[in-house]
Amino acid sequence: MSRAYAALIASALSIMALPTAASAGCYGCYAPPQPCVTCYQPQVIPPQYRTVQETVMVEPGRVIAHRTPAQYRTVMVPQTVMVAPEGVAYERLAPQYAVRERVEMVAPARTYYAPVAPRCGSCGY
Protein backbone atom coordinates (compact mmCIF):
# COMPACT_ATOMS: atom_id res chain seq x y z
CA MET A 1 0.00 0.00 0.00
CA SER A 2 2.77 2.43 0.85
CA ARG A 3 4.62 1.66 -2.44
CA ALA A 4 1.51 2.45 -4.45
CA TYR A 5 0.97 5.59 -2.48
CA ALA A 6 4.61 6.66 -2.97
CA ALA A 7 4.38 5.98 -6.73
CA LEU A 8 1.22 8.06 -6.94
CA ILE A 9 2.91 10.98 -5.21
CA ALA A 10 6.01 10.67 -7.45
CA SER A 11 3.90 10.71 -10.62
CA ALA A 12 1.94 13.71 -9.37
CA LEU A 13 5.16 15.59 -8.66
CA SER A 14 6.55 14.84 -12.12
CA ILE A 15 3.36 16.11 -13.76
CA MET A 16 3.45 19.31 -11.72
CA ALA A 17 7.10 19.93 -12.64
CA LEU A 18 6.47 19.85 -16.39
CA PRO A 19 5.47 23.22 -17.83
CA THR A 20 2.56 23.16 -20.25
CA ALA A 21 1.43 25.45 -23.05
CA ALA A 22 -1.24 26.87 -20.76
CA SER A 23 1.42 28.04 -18.32
CA ALA A 24 3.38 30.12 -20.84
CA GLY A 25 3.71 33.58 -19.35
CA CYS A 26 1.60 32.63 -16.32
CA TYR A 27 2.97 31.98 -12.89
CA GLY A 28 1.56 29.19 -10.79
CA CYS A 29 -0.81 27.90 -13.50
CA TYR A 30 0.77 24.46 -13.71
CA ALA A 31 0.02 23.78 -10.04
CA PRO A 32 -2.93 21.50 -9.33
CA PRO A 33 -6.27 23.25 -8.98
CA GLN A 34 -5.80 26.25 -6.75
CA PRO A 35 -8.55 28.51 -5.52
CA CYS A 36 -9.06 31.48 -7.73
CA VAL A 37 -8.18 34.37 -5.43
CA THR A 38 -9.18 37.80 -6.60
CA CYS A 39 -6.32 40.24 -6.29
CA TYR A 40 -6.98 43.86 -5.45
CA GLN A 41 -4.83 46.83 -6.37
CA PRO A 42 -5.08 50.26 -4.76
CA GLN A 43 -6.48 52.97 -7.02
CA VAL A 44 -5.99 56.63 -6.10
CA ILE A 45 -8.51 59.33 -6.91
CA PRO A 46 -6.92 62.79 -6.71
CA PRO A 47 -8.63 65.56 -4.73
CA GLN A 48 -11.44 67.37 -6.52
CA TYR A 49 -11.49 71.18 -6.60
CA ARG A 50 -13.85 73.80 -7.95
CA THR A 51 -13.67 77.54 -8.46
CA VAL A 52 -16.25 79.56 -6.59
CA GLN A 53 -17.13 83.10 -7.58
CA GLU A 54 -18.49 85.32 -4.86
CA THR A 55 -19.53 88.95 -4.85
CA VAL A 56 -17.76 91.02 -2.24
CA MET A 57 -18.20 94.66 -1.24
CA VAL A 58 -15.13 96.72 -2.08
CA GLU A 59 -16.42 100.03 -0.76
CA PRO A 60 -19.61 100.60 1.24
CA GLY A 61 -22.21 103.14 0.18
CA ARG A 62 -21.93 106.55 1.76
CA VAL A 63 -23.43 109.99 1.91
CA ILE A 64 -21.31 113.10 1.32
CA ALA A 65 -22.55 116.45 2.61
CA HIS A 66 -21.69 119.53 0.53
CA ARG A 67 -22.22 123.01 2.00
CA THR A 68 -23.88 125.49 -0.30
CA PRO A 69 -23.14 129.13 0.42
CA ALA A 70 -25.88 131.74 0.62
CA GLN A 71 -26.66 133.54 -2.64
CA TYR A 72 -26.96 137.32 -2.80
CA ARG A 73 -28.13 139.72 -5.54
CA THR A 74 -28.07 143.43 -5.86
CA VAL A 75 -31.63 144.58 -6.28
CA MET A 76 -31.23 148.30 -6.31
CA VAL A 77 -28.05 150.22 -6.52
CA PRO A 78 -27.29 150.55 -2.81
CA GLN A 79 -29.09 147.37 -1.62
CA THR A 80 -28.00 143.68 -1.73
CA VAL A 81 -30.46 141.00 -0.66
CA MET A 82 -30.14 137.29 0.08
CA VAL A 83 -31.81 135.20 -2.60
CA ALA A 84 -31.07 131.71 -1.17
CA PRO A 85 -29.90 130.87 2.35
CA GLU A 86 -26.86 128.80 3.19
CA GLY A 87 -27.60 125.09 3.03
CA VAL A 88 -26.36 121.51 2.75
CA ALA A 89 -26.66 119.30 -0.32
CA TYR A 90 -26.31 115.54 0.17
CA GLU A 91 -24.70 113.28 -2.42
CA ARG A 92 -25.37 109.56 -2.10
CA LEU A 93 -22.73 107.16 -3.46
CA ALA A 94 -23.74 103.57 -4.11
CA PRO A 95 -21.65 100.72 -2.68
CA GLN A 96 -18.98 99.27 -4.98
CA TYR A 97 -18.89 95.49 -5.54
CA ALA A 98 -16.44 93.14 -7.23
CA VAL A 99 -16.37 89.43 -8.04
CA ARG A 100 -13.69 87.40 -6.27
CA GLU A 101 -12.74 83.86 -7.25
CA ARG A 102 -11.47 81.31 -4.79
CA VAL A 103 -10.67 77.62 -5.10
CA GLU A 104 -12.20 75.20 -2.64
CA MET A 105 -11.83 71.46 -2.20
CA VAL A 106 -14.95 69.47 -3.01
CA ALA A 107 -13.61 66.02 -2.14
CA PRO A 108 -10.26 65.01 -0.64
CA ALA A 109 -7.95 62.46 -2.24
CA ARG A 110 -9.03 58.92 -1.55
CA THR A 111 -7.84 55.38 -2.19
CA TYR A 112 -10.00 52.39 -2.97
CA TYR A 113 -9.17 48.84 -3.93
CA ALA A 114 -10.26 47.53 -7.33
CA PRO A 115 -10.03 43.92 -8.51
CA VAL A 116 -7.15 43.23 -10.87
CA ALA A 117 -7.84 41.33 -14.10
CA PRO A 118 -6.24 37.86 -14.04
CA ARG A 119 -3.08 37.43 -16.11
CA CYS A 120 -3.79 33.80 -17.01
CA GLY A 121 -7.13 32.80 -18.50
CA SER A 122 -7.03 29.15 -17.51
CA CYS A 123 -6.37 29.41 -13.79
CA GLY A 124 -7.16 32.99 -12.83
CA TYR A 125 -3.62 34.13 -12.01
pLDDT on residue 11 = 61
Long-range contacts of 29-38 (CB under 8 A, 24+ apart): 29/120, 29/122, 29/123, 29/125, 31/123, 34/123, 34/125, 36/118, 36/123, 36/124, 37/124, 38/115, 38/116
pLDDT on residue 106 = 95
pLDDT on residue 23 = 42
Sequence spans of domains, the chain: 1-59+118-125
pLDDT on residue 8 = 57
pLDDT on residue 89 = 93
- Regions of the chain with pLDDT less than 50: 18-26, 28-32
pLDDT on residue 100 = 96
Task: Report the residue count for the chain.
Answer: 125
> ∠ CA 110-114-118 to the nearest 5 degrees?
155
Write down the pTM of the prediction.
Answer: 0.41
